[in-house]
A and B are shown apart, each in its own frame.
Chain A
Amino acid sequence: MNFGFTEEQDLLREAARRFIEQRCPIGEVRRLAETEKGFSAEIWQEMARLGWLGLTLPEAHGGSGLGWIDLVVILEETGRGLVPSPLPASTLAATAILENGDAAQHGRWLPALAAGSRIGTVALMEEGGALDPRRIGVRGVRDGDGFVLSGRKTLVSDPTSADLFVVSFRCGDGPDDVALAVVEAGAPGVVAKSFPLIDATKRLGNLDLDGARIRGDQVLGAAGGAAARITRLLNQCAIAVTAEMAGAAERALRITVDYANERTQFGQPIGHFQGVKHPLAEMYVDIESFKSLLYYAAWALENRPHEVSRYASLAKAYATDAFVRTGIDSIQLHGATGFTVEYDIQLYFKRSKWARPMFGDAAAHYERALALRGV
Chain B
Amino acid sequence: MDFDLTPEEEAFRSEVREFLAANLPPPAERSKLGADFINEWWRKIREKRWIGFDWPREMGGGGGTVMQQYILKEEMLNAKAPPLGSDYTGLGWVGPAVIQFGTDEQRKRFLPDILDSKSAWCTGYSEPGVGSDLASLRCRAVRDGDDYVVNGQKIWISLAHIGTGIYTMVRTDPDVSKYDGISCLLIPLNTPGIEVRPIKSFAGDHFKDLYNEVFFHDVRVPVANRVGREGQGWEILCSALQRERSGIAEVNRHHKALERLIKLAATSRIAGEPALENMEMRKRLAAFDARIEACRLTGLRVLTRQVQGKLGDSDASIGKLHNCNLLVAMSETAMELLGGASPYLGDTEASVGRGKWQIGALGWPTTVIGGGTPNIQKNIIAERILGLPKD
Q: Among B5, B294, B308, B389, which residue has its beta carbon within 8 angstroms of that of A261?
A: B389
Judged by a CB distance under 8 angstroms, whether B79 is at the interface is no
Judged by a CB distance under 8 angstroms, whether A284 is at the interface is yes
The answer to whether B3 touches A277 (Cβ under 8 A) is no
Q: Among B6, B266, B322, which residue has its beta carbon within 8 angstroms of that of A289?
A: B322
The answer to whether B382 touches A278 (Cβ under 8 A) is yes
Judged by a CB distance under 8 angstroms, whether A53 is at the interface is no
The smallest beta-carbon distance between A165 and chain B, in angstroms, is 31
**Which B residues are in CB contact (< 8 Å) with A277?**
378-379, 382-383, 388
The answer to whether A366 touches B1 (Cβ under 8 A) is no
**Which A residues are in CB contact (< 8 Å) with B2?**
1-2, 299, 303
The answer to whether A3 touches B1 (Cβ under 8 A) is yes
Which among B17-25, B201-209, B295-303 touches the partner chain?
B295-303
Q: Among A281, A288, A303, A363, which residue has its beta carbon within 8 angstroms of that of B4?
A: A303
Task: Report Cα–Cα, A1/B387, bound state, in Å.
Answer: 31
The answer to whether A1 touches B4 (Cβ under 8 A) is yes
Q: Interface size bucket, A side? A: 35 or more
Which among B240-248, B277-285, B339-347 touches the partner chain?
B277-285
Judged by a CB distance under 8 angstroms, whether A209 is at the interface is no
Judged by a CB distance under 8 angstroms, whether B100 is at the interface is no
The answer to whether A369 touches B289 (Cβ under 8 A) is yes
The answer to whether A268 touches B389 (Cβ under 8 A) is yes
Within 8 A of B (CB), among A107-163: none
Residue of B287, B289, B305, B379 contacting most chain A CB atoms (<10 Å): B289
Q: Among A4, A69, A373, which residue has its beta carbon within 8 angstroms of that of B308?
A: A4
Judged by a CB distance under 8 angstroms, whether A223 is at the interface is no
Task: Report Cα–Cα, A341/B293, bound state, in Å.
Answer: 38
The answer to whether B391 touches A272 (Cβ under 8 A) is yes
**Which B residues are in CB contact (< 8 Å) with A369?**
286, 289-290
Task: Report Cα–Cα, A357/B229, bound state, in Å.
Answer: 58
Judged by a CB distance under 8 angstroms, whether A317 is at the interface is yes
Judged by a CB distance under 8 angstroms, whether A280 is at the interface is yes
The answer to whether B386 touches A257 (Cβ under 8 A) is yes
Task: Report Cα–Cα, A363/B286, bound state, in Å.
Answer: 9
Within 8 A of B (CB), among A320-356: 321
**Which A residues are in CB contact (< 8 Å) with B297?**
3, 292-293, 295-296
The answer to whether A289 touches B389 (Cβ under 8 A) is no
Question: Across the two chains, which residue of chain A brings its CB closest to B303?
Answer: A3
Task: Report Cα–Cα, A40/B203, bound state, in Å.
Answer: 64
The answer to whether A3 touches B301 (Cβ under 8 A) is yes
Residue of A257, A363, A370 contacting most chain B CB atoms (<10 Å): A370
Q: Interface size bucket, B side? A: 35 or more
Question: Across the two chains, which residue of chain B brings its CB closest to A256?
Answer: B386
Judged by a CB distance under 8 angstroms, whether A265 is at the interface is no
Task: Report Cα–Cα, A35/B388, bound state, in Å.
Answer: 38
The answer to whether B388 touches A271 (Cβ under 8 A) is yes
**Which A residues are in CB contact (< 8 Å) with B290?**
293, 314-315, 317-318, 366, 369
The answer to whether A303 touches B294 (Cβ under 8 A) is no
Judged by a CB distance under 8 angstroms, whether A311 is at the interface is yes
The smallest beta-carbon distance between A326 and chain B, in angstroms, is 13
The smallest beta-carbon distance between A222 and chain B, in angstroms, is 32
Judged by a CB distance under 8 angstroms, whether A22 is at the interface is no
The answer to whether B321 touches A366 (Cβ under 8 A) is no
**Which B residues are in CB contact (< 8 Å) with A271?**
382, 388-389
The answer to whether B304 touches A3 (Cβ under 8 A) is yes
Residue of B1, B67, B300 contacting most chain A CB atoms (<10 Å): B1
Judged by a CB distance under 8 angstroms, whether B262 is at the interface is yes
The answer to whether B286 touches A370 (Cβ under 8 A) is yes
Judged by a CB distance under 8 angstroms, whether A217 is at the interface is no
Contact (A285, B283) CB under 8 Å given A5-B1, A318-B291, A366-B290: no
The answer to whether A285 touches B279 (Cβ under 8 A) is no
Task: Report Cα–Cα, A261/B388, bound state, in Å.
Answer: 6
Judged by a CB distance under 8 angstroms, whether A290 is at the interface is yes
The smallest beta-carbon distance between A243 and chain B, in angstroms, is 13
Task: Report Cα–Cα, A295/B301, bound state, in Å.
Answer: 10
The smallest beta-carbon distance between A197 and chain B, in angstroms, is 26
The smallest beta-carbon distance between B306 and chain A, in angstroms, is 11
The answer to whether A311 touches B293 (Cβ under 8 A) is yes
**Which B residues are in CB contact (< 8 Å) with A321?**
287
Judged by a CB distance under 8 angstroms, whether B375 is at the interface is yes
Question: Can you list 20 A-B contacts with CB-CB less than 8 angstroms, sorted by A residue number?
Answer: A1-B4, A1-B5, A3-B1, A3-B301, A268-B389, A272-B389, A272-B391, A278-B382, A280-B388, A284-B386, A285-B318, A288-B298, A289-B291, A289-B318, A295-B1, A304-B3, A314-B293, A366-B287, A375-B282, A375-B285
Known contacts A272-B388, A375-B276; 5 further A-B pairs (Cβ under 8 A):
A1-B6, A3-B1, A3-B297, A5-B1, A311-B293
Residues on B lying within 8 angstroms of A by beta carbon are 1-6, 9, 67, 262, 266, 276, 279, 282-283, 285-287, 289-291, 293-295, 297-298, 300-301, 303-305, 307-308, 318, 321-322, 375, 377-379, 381-383, 385-389, 391
Closest 7 CB pairs of A and B: A366-B286, A289-B294, A292-B297, A281-B378, A277-B382, A271-B388, A281-B381
